[in-house]
């Protein structure tokens, strides 16, 4: 296994790049769902910071409201009433009188129209009125004398309705007509009314697919003829202008790099308006406000303050249910179409700008790719908490950037689609990483569960940064444990019994090692190799190893009682089973060692060999444990007794070895009697005072520490050989250990 961190498969980055490429292509195709997300984002901006109603803007609505209809009768009103309305507005010097009402049929209240509707016998009895003007003619004369604008409604049904433009057009740059929305037909007013009006503009509103009006085209196309909107005509007539200037791509001052990209700006009188390629503008709407409305009956009755009319663009329309189509804006679920026209005029006259720049799509796609890659790579390298924080931060930045662009620079960037892509990518990457992590956790449990305590394995899984595998040098405390008389034992047992015996022996000893946070390297028949301080740090590893040795020897007494009872019940002899333990500390190479076909987590190095030799010395000295001086030096409170100074084969420097006094099975008084005698014994031995050494063996054995009898016997057997040996002048008492 590699170090435990999320491993990216060879397909990870290609899959991420493929997903981001698909996301970019979907955005390029711009299906309705993507459009809807974008429009929802733009609507949310307006809801967060709605435009307030500004009563100083020169736009008002004369409302054919319910009360006005109650006074003047049902709609449509006689053209004489409409004439009076225009006269009142003209007298008060309205800048423009803009009708959002179509006059497609003759006034039915005109005398000639009434006669047409009578039966012939009744009509013949009526007097002939000569040279009398019709209501429509009277209305037309009033329109001609006033700054009036009438509507035209463009339709998708072909028609031959004539349209006589009231203004000229000047083009700068490319021809804008291919970019304007085309219509094959139109519904217009009575020709005499259209001829009389100073302006005629399209009153069409263009809601999005969800029924919400967000933008207003200033120009559309009827066949090959450009038609200004009602708003454009209102602005032109109010300023007394006669010509529109349409600036398109490749005009002077407009950068298009030789490409035909449509309209950029429109100039109406003194007002220049930035538009998109189709000649439309995004509108900053406000909520509907009754203050913008003047009831028609009050105007005709002369009850309206002149300041509400003079110099203002007056739109005439209706808020009466049944007389209009209610439409939605980002801020209102349903408002009269005439108020939408008024709000567009307010938007322009207030100098507001709301632009979706040409480079917006490129920036959004760049964000998708850049932040997507950052998210994908960050998720795989950070902790779950940090990865979640990164994801949340990126989403906040994207949405905050969109809001700031709108609030302070009037630019529209879509934060929702990039956010959706990031969310989907995060979900996918999180699921992928979760699967990878679970797989690696399974690998860790499989790899370490055999030789680490479950609690330690879970700690590795919970804190994988603590784990570094693959071969590293660490200070370890090592242990070798072997059964002394295993060969003779195995000769008396069947294969099945031997297997049970090994299991009963190694399981409790292993439990002790694992409980003390040791790592079991391997089982070698009846032997155990273990170490501490890898793969996780164990700060008190020497103490834990020595404590394990003491507990393991104590456990053997309990096991021997159990096996003795079993042997007695089976009627066979039993000899107590003894173990020998070697413990040593030092730097070792630890990690996954082996071949490409098979490897194990293990430790190698000189200190491993030394520890194995120490375990072998327990046979010579007849002791349960032999501990190296490196371990003892790291355990200042450990009760030990120095045994010897040995020269391990292959090592230049001899090492001191000790045993644990807790394993000597003697009283404190006996140990107190022994210590000074034992120290004198070692001093005499290392000073080559053989007679004194031999003389001290007897008192040492009589001190009452029976467990050391074999130890002193080994020295007694060694001294005659040393007497006759030619020892170096600098011999320090080290015993050369040439075999294990």
pLDDT one-digit tens code per residue, 404-427: 998 889 888 989 889 898 888 887
Q: Which pLDDT band, with edges at 50, 70 and 90, does 258 fall under?
A: very low
Percent over 70 (pLDDT), the chain:
86
Nearest by Cα to 207 from 319, 329, 323, 318: 329
Residue 363 predicted with pLDDT over 60: yes
Q: Which residue has the higher pLDDT, 472 or 284?
A: 284
* Helix %, strand %, coil % of the chain (to 5): 45, 20, 35
pLDDT one-digit tens code per residue, 177-222: 999 999 999 999 999 999 999 999 999 999 988 889 999 999 999 9
Nearest by Cα to 305 from 53, 55, 92, 555: 92
The pLDDT value given to residue 653: 85
Q: Which pLDDT band, with edges at 50, 70 and 90, does 470 fall under?
A: low
pLDDT one-digit tens code per residue, 7-65: 556 777 888 888 888 988 988 888 888 888 888 888 899 899 888 999 999 999 999 99
Q: Which residue has the higher pLDDT, 457 or 722?
A: 722
The pLDDT value given to residue 614: 94
pLDDT one-digit tens code per residue, 136-183: 889 999 999 999 999 999 998 888 767 788 999 999 888 889 999 999
Cβ within 8 Å of residue 44, ≥6 positions away: none
Task: Please state which of the ranges 108-122, 470-484, 535-549 shows the lowest mean pLDDT.
Answer: 108-122
pLDDT one-digit tens code per residue, 640-679: 999 999 988 767 789 999 999 999 999 999 999 999 999 9
Query: 400 and 408 in contact (C-beta within 8 Å)?
Result: no
C-beta neighbour count of 126 within 10 angstroms: 11
Residue 637: how many CA atoms within 13 Å on its side-chain side?
4
Query: 376 and 16 in contact (C-beta within 8 Å)?
Result: yes
The residues spanned by each domain of the chain are 12-47+357-445, 58-118+133-340, 449-663, 664-740
Q: Which pLDDT band, with edges at 50, 70 and 90, does 4 fall under?
A: very low
Average pLDDT of the chain to the nearest whole number = 86
Percent over 90 (pLDDT), the chain:
49
The 8-class DSSP code of residue 661 comes to G
Mean pLDDT, range 92-114, rounded to an integer: 83
What whole-number distance in Å separates Cα of residue 92 and Cα of residue 402? 45
Q: Longest C-alpha distance within the chain, in Å?
A: 169
Tokens of 597: 């076909």
Distance of CA 395 to the CA centre of its chain: 7
**Fold exhibited by the domain 449-663:** Alpha-Beta Plaits (3.30.70)
pTM equals: 0.63
Phi and psi, residue 290, nearest 5°: -60, -20
What whole-number distance in Å separates Cα of residue 290 and Cα of residue 317? 14
pLDDT one-digit tens code per residue, 337-354: 999 999 999 999 999 888
Task: Please state which of the ranges 123-127, 311-315, 517-521 shows the lowest mean pLDDT.
Answer: 123-127
What's the N-to-C CA distance of the chain in angstroms? Answer: 34
Cα-Cα-Cα-Cα dihedral sign, residues 228, 229, 235, 240: positive
pLDDT one-digit tens code per residue, 76-94: 889 899 999 999 999 999 9
Q: Count Cβ atoms within 10 A of the Cβ of residue 55 and give its class: 0-12 exposed, 13-18 middle, 19 or more buried.
A: exposed
What whole-number distance in Å separates Cα of residue 479 and Cα of residue 529? 6
Provide the pairing of β-strand 527-532 with 579-594: unpaired
Task: Please state which of the ranges 193-197, 697-701, 732-736 shows the lowest mean pLDDT.
Answer: 732-736
Secondary structure (DSSP) of 538-563: -TTHHHHHHHHHHHHHHHHHHHHHHH
What whole-number distance in Å separates Cα of residue 575 and Cα of residue 585? 33
Residue 116 predicted with pLDDT over 80: no
Residue 75 predicted with pLDDT over 80: yes
Residue 263: how many CA atoms within 13 Å on its side-chain side?
28
Using alpha carbons, list the distances in angstroms from residue 456 to 162, 507, 514, 740.
Answer: 90, 18, 9, 33
């Amino acid at each position: 296994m590699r170090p435990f961190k999320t491993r990216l498969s060879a397909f990870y980055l290609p899959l991420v790049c493929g997903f981001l490429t698909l996301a970019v292509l979907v955005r390029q195709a711009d299906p309705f769902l993507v459009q809807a997300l974008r429009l929802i984002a733009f609507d949310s901006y307006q809801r967060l910071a709605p435009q307030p109603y500004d009563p100083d803007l020169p736009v008002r609505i004369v409302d054919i409201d319910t009360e006005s209809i109650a006074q003047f009768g049902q709609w449509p009103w006689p053209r004489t009433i409409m004439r009076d309305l225009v006269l009142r507005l003209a007298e008060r010097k309205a800048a423009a009188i803009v009708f959002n009402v179509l006059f497609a049929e003759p006034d039915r209240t005109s005398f000639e129209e009434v006669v047409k509707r009578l039966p012939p016998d009744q009509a013949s009895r009526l007097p002939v009125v000569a040279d009398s003007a019709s209501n429509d003619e009277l209305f037309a004369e009033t329109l001609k004398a006033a700054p009036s604008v009438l509507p035209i409604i463009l339709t998708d049904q072909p028609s031959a309705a004539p349209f006589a433009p009231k203004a000229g057009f000047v083009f700068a740059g490319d021809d804008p007509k291919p970019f304007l929305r085309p219509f094959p037909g139109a519904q217009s007013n009575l020709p005499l009314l259209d001829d009389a009006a100073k302006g005629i503009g399209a009153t069409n509103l263009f809601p999005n697919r969800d029924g919400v009006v967000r933008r207003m085209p200033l120009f559309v196309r009827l066949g090959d003829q450009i038609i200004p909107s009602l708003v454009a005509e209102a602005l032109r007539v109010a300023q007394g202008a006669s010509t529109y200037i349409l600036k398109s791509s490749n005009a002077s001052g407009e950068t298009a790099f030789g490409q035909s990209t449509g309209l950029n700006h429109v100039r109406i009188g003194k007002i220049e308006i930035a538009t998109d390629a189709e000649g439309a503008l995004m509108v900053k709407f406000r909520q509907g406000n009754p203050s913008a409305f003047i009831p028609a009956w009050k105007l005709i009755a002369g009850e309206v303050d002149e300041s509400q009319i003079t110099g203002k663009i007056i739109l005439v329309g209706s808020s009466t249910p049944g007389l209009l189509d209610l439409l939605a804006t980002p801020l209102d679920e349903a408002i009269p179409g005439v108020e939408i026209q008024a709000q567009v005029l307010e938007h322009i006259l207030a100098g507001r700008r709301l632009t979706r720049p040409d480079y917006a799509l490129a920036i959004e796609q760049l964000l998708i790719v850049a932040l997507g890659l950052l998210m994908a790579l960050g998720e795989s390298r950070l902790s779950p908490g940090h990865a979640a924080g990164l994801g949340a931060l990126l989403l906040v930045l994207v949405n905050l950037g969109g809001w700031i662009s709108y609030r302070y620079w009037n630019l529209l960037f879509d934060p929702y689609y990039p956010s959706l892509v990031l969310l989907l990518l995060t979900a996918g990457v999180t699921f992928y990483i979760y699967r990878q992590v679970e797989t690696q956790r399974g690998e860790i449990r499989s790899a370490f569960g055999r030789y680490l305590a479950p609690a330690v394995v879970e700690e590795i899984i919970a804190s994988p940064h603590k784990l570094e595998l693959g071969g590293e040098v660490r200070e370890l405390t090592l242990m070798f444990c072997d059964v002394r008389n295993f060969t003779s034992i195995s000769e008396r047992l069947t294969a099945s019994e031997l297997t049970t015996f090994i299991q009963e022996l190694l399981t409790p000893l292993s439990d002790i090692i694992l409980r003390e946070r040791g790592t079991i390297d391997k089982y070698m028949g009846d032997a155990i190799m273990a170490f501490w301080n890898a793969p996780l740090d164990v700060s008190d590893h020497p103490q834990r190893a020595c404590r394990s040795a003491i507990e393991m020897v104590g456990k053997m007494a309990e096991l021997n009682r159990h096996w003795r009872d079993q042997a007695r019940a089976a009627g066979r002899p039993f000899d107590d089973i003894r173990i020998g333990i070697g413990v040593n500390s030092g730097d070792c190479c630890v990690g996954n060692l082996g071949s490409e076909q098979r490897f194990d987590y293990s430790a190698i190095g000189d200190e491993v060999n030394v520890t194995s030799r120490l375990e072998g010395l327990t046979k010579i000295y007849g002791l349960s444990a032999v501990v190296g001086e490196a371990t003892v030096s790291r355990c200042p409170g450990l009760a030990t007794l120095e045994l010897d100074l040995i020269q391990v084969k292959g090592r230049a420097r001899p090492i001191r070895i000790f045993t644990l006094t807790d394993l000597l099975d003697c009283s404190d008084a006996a140990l107190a009697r022994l210590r000074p005698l034992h120290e004198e014994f070692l001093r005499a031995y290392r000073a080559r005072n053989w007679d004194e050494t031999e003389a001290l063996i007897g008192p040492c054995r009589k001190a009452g520490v029976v467990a050391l009898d074999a130890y002193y016997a080994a020295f007694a057997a060694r001294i005659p050989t040393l007497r006759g040996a030619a020892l170096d002048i600098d011999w320090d008492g080290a015993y050369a250990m040439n075999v294990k």
